[in-house]
Structure 1
């Protein structure tokens, strides 16, 4: 009987122990203060375009370049005839003639506005052709390597050593000096620089894991280059292309200053060429086109430099 009572008491104690309610435990996880900073850093690095558009140089020189382009391409609808000579000869800038007139009595505002079309078209057309040739040749050379890489690099080196100024002089003597010929010559002699950048990027990207996975999945080389290599190589290509715009405008202006250009559509450089005989008597003939060339090239180069800093934040830092 005593043994039975002991067993009952032990069972009762175990039931009471099982029915005891434990207090709720509050678990707190403290996140280090440095974590939001790291997340913000990764987020800013993942959006270089946002960094680029917030840079002071972009906020100033971007609208400046847009204004110059709008004036050059929309302004002809609001200015007079650039070849009309029904105006006073060498009239200084005034309310009636904001930029004065030239030696033949033509409104200089109309001529400067029309001249901007030629300079900007040459600059951006050359940059677009250089980017196209560079992506094609550099992408194939960097992705495939081997004999294809060697052959395409030799072709790029051949075009790179061609003297652009001499080639332009020869082409102008044989074919005539028009805007199409000038754009073609500048593009032929300037695209190897972009091609070398694309080749280096294609060689780097082709060794990455997702490209190897695409190869293993059986995708063709052309599809991998178009869908994986070229899109990921575009940031440094865009930087190099933006620098090409300024170089092309300067070279075209220099050729026009030497008298090699389209006489039917004078550019800012051609206006400077015609103004060199009137530097002392009509200062405005050289100041306005020269200032526009300076501002345009400065804006393009500053935007390219800002783009380089945004996509390559560690470039130029001492480690």
Structure 2
């Protein structure tokens, strides 16, 4: 009689089970991110000024995105202006008209697109340069850090507006020139803040363990240092947007902006050229000036609230 066949050995399951832990790890990471965002929002909404600034910026962003449908592209046209020149506020034109008979309300809504775009992109460029310079200067010591910081100090002591005017004068007049001029002249403050934070992070014990395990410079900067300085970078970005919008308005007011587009600074420049100050046409000057001030204030309130949430020791008033 033949002996019974031995039972089949159990199949190895380590190969089929390997995707499971990876999938659960990814889901755990997503859950932690969601929890972190929810915790940030719970703390942020306790700052009434920050919530008010965020509400104002949200409304302005919706108006800027819907500008082609709300006012139309014809609002910029000089030949198809619907009103008379320098008409005071009325039912047909709530904010009056400019020297060409165009609606100032429509120009204000359309100009928000350029002002917000320049502010966001210029601040992003400035913070990106400052973060890169700050992390490199804080991680590498010796002559590299000294050389980088001396360059940073030179940019820091030079008047930012003067450097921006020089760049805007030398390069062609366009929106991208304004963005570049603001971005490459306003990064030193971010660089110094990020450098100080990088030095503080690299003094912690887990950085020494990462070095002992063979972590290189790129690994340390991207995996350990950069995530720790990102809260500071985020707060600096929100604060830098308001400064970028003010600088763009200043450059446009000085006649260094793009003459083919409508921006709030360009509206102020047109009002000055039309003699609105001497002739008493206050409705031509007030709307763009108030818009610039309110948007800068809203971004500042949001930046202060973000900074307070990410660093509660600052004790920013609510």
Q: TM-score, normalised by structure 2?
A: 0.79
* Rounded Cα–Cα distance in structure 2 between residues aligned with 1:57 and 1:173: 38
Give yes or no for the alignment of 1:114 onto 2:110.
yes
Q: Give how far 1:143 is off.
A: 1.5
Aligned to 1:123: 119
* Rounded Cα–Cα distance in structure 2 between residues aligned with 1:202 and 1:187: 22
* Rounded Cα–Cα distance in structure 1 between residues aligned with 2:196 and 2:160: 25
* Rounded Cα–Cα distance in structure 2 between residues aligned with 1:313 and 1:56: 16
Q: Give how far 1:49 is off.
A: 4.7
8 A contact 1:171–1:177 mirrored in 2: no
Q: Give how far 1:209 is off.
A: 1.8
8 A contact 2:168–2:181 mirrored in 1: no
Task: Pick the aligned partner of 2:66 from 65, 74, 85.
Answer: 74
8 A contact 1:177–1:261 mirrored in 2: yes
Query: Cα deviation per residue 1:148-172 (whole Å; 9 max; x = unaligned)?
Result: 2112112212322333333333334
Give yes or no for the alignment of 1:58 onto 2:50.
yes
Moved more, 305-314 or 241-250: 305-314
Task: Pick the aligned partner of 2:93 from 94, 97, 122.
Answer: 97
Moved more, 273-282 or 205-214: 273-282
Give yes or no for the alignment of 1:303 onto 2:286.
no
* Rounded Cα–Cα distance in structure 2 between residues aligned with 1:141 and 1:185: 23
Q: Give how far 1:235 is off.
A: 1.5
Runs of 4+ in 1 over 4 A off after TM superposition: 46-49
8 A contact 2:89–2:95 mirrored in 1: yes
Moved more, 66-75 or 123-132: 66-75
Aligned to 1:264: 260
**Cα gap change, 1:149 to 1:49, in 2 (>3 Å):** farther
Of structures 1 and 2, the larger Rg is shown by 1
Aligned to 1:135: 131
Q: Secondary structure at the match of 2:155?
A: helix
Q: TM-score, normalised by structure 1?
A: 0.79
Aligned to 1:31: none
Give yes or no for the alignment of 1:213 onto 2:209.
yes
Give yes or no for the alignment of 1:234 onto 2:226.
no
Q: Give how far 1:291 is off.
A: 1.2
Aligned to 2:188: 192
Aligned to 2:270: 274
**Cα gap change, 1:200 to 1:293, in 2 (>3 Å):** same
8 A contact 1:49–1:310 mirrored in 2: no
Q: CA RMSD of the aligned region, Å?
A: 2.2
Query: Cα deviation per residue 1:29-67 (whole Å; 9 max; x = unaligned)?
Result: xxxxxxxxxxxxxx99x9455312331112211010111
Q: Give how far 1:316 is off.
A: 5.5
5+ residue gaps, structure 1, are 1-42
* Rounded Cα–Cα distance in structure 1 between residues aligned with 2:124 and 2:156: 17
Moved more, 122-131 or 176-185: 176-185
8 A contact 1:76–1:110 mirrored in 2: no
8 A contact 1:164–1:185 mirrored in 2: no
Q: Secondary structure at the match of 1:201?
A: helix
Q: Secondary structure at the match of 2:66?
A: helix
* Rounded Cα–Cα distance in structure 2 between residues aligned with 1:220 and 1:49: 35
Aligned to 1:169: 165
